[in-house]
């Protein structure tokens, strides 16, 4: 039988020693002194290390959190290990327990599969999901992909970081900092047989207050207390707050969609109506360039943006970058061809449109992540294409002067936006997932003014369309501007209203220290 992981370890390709010498001096002797916490033997073939968290022992003291931050030199705002609280029952039979979680070192890590630069590796011997700060470009896609919120972006460094089970300590035969610090012996390291775990994880890795282990096959074993009533849930469940707007991404997605939509219109007009326009494509191209430039501002390490192409076989983010790069290249060619009046420009146009539309698809698809339930639906794909349709036709309407095809296209798009929006709100409100209901609540409470503004902007656009004397430049520009504003508001709402999945937190929202 072939054992590639074992092979790799034996060949010395990996720093992890097959035999840990636990007896070398004082270190091993004080690790977990008095609590009988010890490091198990290194994992054998088909095995990996995992955390065991014993909820029956945890008293919520958060020693693990402090010890983790000391171990890794992290600032207070970044906690690779966190403690949250769950609660249920009725006084005096109230039930309160704590969850402590670092990384779950999943069998199918979604952080890893989404990463565009291959910064993540699943260690062959230990199964530890490791992250390379050197390889990372700070795109933060993993922070959306992990349903446990494990990877955290460090703005001071421009890269993400996460719990690596104190890999460096394990290689020296030392316990991870959290397990070492726990006064109750509630955190331990165990070995687990991965095939067996695929059968068992459903029962042993899930807990109230935790996202489903199905998303990535968490390996953390959680021992639950015998007495847990069904109403036990996370104490922060009613606490909703707006997520980061990711302004560069708001700009980038809306403008790429505008550009792709515009190129599609330009190409269709060229092919169907034989109305080539020398300058229109240049404008659309400038918009595309602006969008792509904006996207790099989202990166913690914009200079390394090109690395994002690397994982196109696996990562939707890489695919988005690749497709939009191809779109930009072909769009340049197409624009040049139109400018110079080259006859075969339509072929280049078709390539541009193909790459652009695929790019919008990839762009939408990458938001369908486990950690952001409100995004994870076909509505996201529909919304992105409708933005392209609406803004593309509105843009072309300006460049070409009002025309018979533009108004019905825009009206159709707006109607679809309304229909899709209403359907999405109903779907969110009636969801069994509290994160989706939370998004609905945010949209109708904290964000209700902006949501109203978006609806009014769409109506305003329709009104202008109805009133517009054909071909009047000021009106067509106004219509486009109103719709662009509407889509910016819509995209802003998309980003800030999402409620991430996560482990239970503390009751109070942490403020910057």
Residues numbered 197-256 forming contacts with other proteins, rule: CB under 8 A: 235, 238-239
Q: Is 2 or 134 the residue whose CB approaches other proteins more closely? A: 134
* Residue selected from 9, 39, 69, 406 as contacting other proteins according to rule CB under 8 A: 69
Distances (CA, A) of 264 to 268, 269, 400: 6, 8, 13
Residue 66 binds other proteins, judged by CB under 8 A: yes
The stretch near other proteins (CB under 8 A) out of 159-167, 355-363, 380-388, 468-476 is 159-167
* Residue selected from 5, 63, 125, 284 as contacting other proteins according to rule CB under 8 A: 63
Number of residues that bind other proteins (CB under 8 A): 73
Question: In angstroms, what is the minimal distance from the CB of 254 to other proteins?
Answer: 24
Question: In angstroms, what is the minimal distance from the CB of 4 to other proteins?
Answer: 27
* Residue selected from 33, 272, 274, 466 as contacting other proteins according to rule CB under 8 A: 33
Question: In angstroms, what is the minimal distance from the CB of 30 to other proteins?
Answer: 4
Q: Is 58 or 288 the residue whose CB approaches other proteins more closely? A: 58
Exposure of 254 by Cβ count < 10 A (0-12 exposed, 13-18 middle, 19+ buried)?
A: buried
Q: Is 100 or 501 the residue whose CB approaches other proteins more closely? A: 100
Question: Which 273-302 positions form the footprint of other proteins (CB under 8 A)?
Answer: 299-302
382/218 Cα distance (integer angstroms) = 31
Residue 21 binds other proteins, judged by CB under 8 A: no
Question: Which 121-140 positions form the footprint of other proteins (CB under 8 A)?
Answer: 133-134, 137-138
Beta strands 233-234 and 82-88 are antiparallel
Q: Is 245 or 302 the residue whose CB approaches other proteins more closely? A: 302
Contacts of 454 (CB under 8 A, 6+ apart): 486, 489, 490, 493
Residue 171 binds other proteins, judged by CB under 8 A: yes
DSSP-derived 3-state class of residue 123: coil
Residue 67 binds other proteins, judged by CB under 8 A: yes
Structure tokens at 276: 């080539």
258/10 Cα distance (integer angstroms) = 54
Q: Is 236 or 320 the residue whose CB approaches other proteins more closely? A: 236
Nearest by Cα to 112 from 122, 103, 123: 122
Task: Tell me the CB-side half-sphere exposure of residue 71, using CA atoms within 13 A.
Answer: 25
* Residue selected from 35, 336, 342, 456 as contacting other proteins according to rule CB under 8 A: 35
Question: In angstroms, what is the minimal distance from the CB of 155 to other proteins?
Answer: 10
125/185 Cα distance (integer angstroms) = 25
Nearest by Cα to 331 from 354, 358, 306: 354
DSSP string, 188-238: EEEEEEHHHHHHHHHHHT--TTS--GGGTT---EEEPPS---TT-EETTTT
53/100 Cα distance (integer angstroms) = 7
Q: What share of the chain is helix, strand, coil (3-state, %, to 5)?
A: 50, 10, 40
Residue 92 binds other proteins, judged by CB under 8 A: yes
206/451 Cα distance (integer angstroms) = 36
Q: Is 172 or 448 the residue whose CB approaches other proteins more closely? A: 172
The stretch near other proteins (CB under 8 A) out of 162-170, 250-258, 270-278, 440-448 is 162-170
Question: Which 437-496 positions form the footprint of other proteins (CB under 8 A)?
Answer: none
284/268 Cα distance (integer angstroms) = 14
Residue 88 binds other proteins, judged by CB under 8 A: yes
Residue 30 binds other proteins, judged by CB under 8 A: yes
Nearest by Cα to 202 from 214, 215, 210: 214
Judge whether 39 and 175 are in contact, CB under 8 Å.
Answer: yes
* Residue selected from 77, 271, 326, 381 as contacting other proteins according to rule CB under 8 A: 77
Q: Is 129 or 413 the residue whose CB approaches other proteins more closely? A: 129
Q: Does the N-terminal peptide bond of residue 92 adopt cis geometry, omega within 30 degrees of 0?
A: yes
The stretch near other proteins (CB under 8 A) out of 113-121, 176-184, 201-209, 344-352 is 176-184
Question: Which 299-338 positions form the footprint of other proteins (CB under 8 A)?
Answer: 299-304
* Residue selected from 96, 199, 275, 430 as contacting other proteins according to rule CB under 8 A: 96
């Amino acid at each position: 039988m072939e054992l590639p992981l074992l092979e790799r370890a034996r060949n010395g390709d990996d720093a992890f020693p097959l035999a840990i010498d636990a007896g070398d001096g004082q270190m091993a002797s004080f690790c977990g002194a008095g609590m009988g916490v010890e490091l198990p033997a290194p994992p054998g073939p088909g095995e990996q290390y995992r955390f065991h968290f014993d909820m029956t022992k945890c008293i919520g003291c958060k020693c693990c959190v402090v010890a983790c931050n000391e171990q890794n030199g992290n600032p207070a705002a970044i906690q690779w290990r966190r403690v949250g609280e769950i609660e249920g029952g009725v006084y005096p039979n109230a039930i309160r327990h704590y969850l402590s979680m670092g990384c779950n070192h999943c069998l199918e890590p979604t952080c890893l599969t989404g990463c565009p630069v291959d910064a993540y590796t699943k260690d062959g011997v230990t199964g530890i999901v490791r992250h390379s700060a050197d390889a990372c470009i700070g795109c933060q896609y993993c922070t959306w992909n992990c349903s446990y919120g494990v990877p955290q972006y460090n703005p001071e460094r421009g890269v993400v970081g996460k719990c690596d089970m104190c890999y460096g300590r394990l290689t020296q035969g030392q316990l991870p900092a959290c397990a070492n610090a726990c006064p109750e012996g509630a955190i331990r390291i165990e070995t687990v047989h991965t095939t067996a775990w695929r059968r068992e994880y459903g029962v042993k890795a899930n807990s109230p207050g935790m996202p489903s282990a199905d998303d990535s096959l968490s390996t953390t074993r959680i021992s639950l207390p015998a007495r847990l009533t069904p109403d036990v849930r996370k104490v922060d469940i009613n606490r909703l707050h707006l997520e980061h707007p990711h302004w560069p991404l708001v700009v980038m997605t809306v403008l790429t969609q505008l550009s792709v939509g515009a190129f599609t219109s330009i190409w269709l007009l060229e092919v169907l109506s034989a109305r080539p326009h020398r300058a229109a494509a240049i404008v659309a191209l400038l918009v595309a360039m602006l969008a792509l430039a904006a996207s790099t501002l989202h990166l913690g390490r914009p200079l390394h943006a090109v690395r994002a192409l690397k994982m196109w076989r696996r990562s939707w983010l890489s695919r988005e970058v690749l497709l939009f790069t191809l779109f930009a290249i072909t769009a340049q060619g197409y624009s040049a061809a139109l400018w110079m009046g080259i006859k075969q420009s339509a072929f280049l146009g078709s390539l541009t449109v193909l790459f652009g539309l695929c790019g919008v698809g990839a762009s939408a698809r990458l938001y369908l992540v486990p950690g952001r339930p409100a995004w994870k639906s076909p509505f996201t794909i529909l919304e992105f294409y409708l933005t392209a349709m609406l803004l593309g036709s509105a843009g072309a309407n300006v460049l070409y002067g009002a025309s018979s095809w533009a108004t019905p296209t825009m009206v159709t798009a707006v109607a679809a936006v309304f229909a899709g929006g209403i359907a999405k709100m109903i779907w969110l409100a009636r969801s069994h997932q509290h994160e989706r209901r939370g998004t609905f609540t945010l949209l109708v409470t904290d964000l209700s003014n902006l949501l109203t503004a978006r609806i009014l902007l769409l109506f305003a656009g329709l009104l202008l369309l109805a009133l517009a004397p054909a071909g009047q430049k000021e009106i067509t520009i106004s219509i486009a501007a109103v719709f662009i504003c509407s889509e910016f508001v819509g995209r802003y709402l998309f980003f800030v209203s999402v409620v991430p999945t996560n482990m239970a937190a503390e009751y109070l929202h942490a403020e910057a220290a």
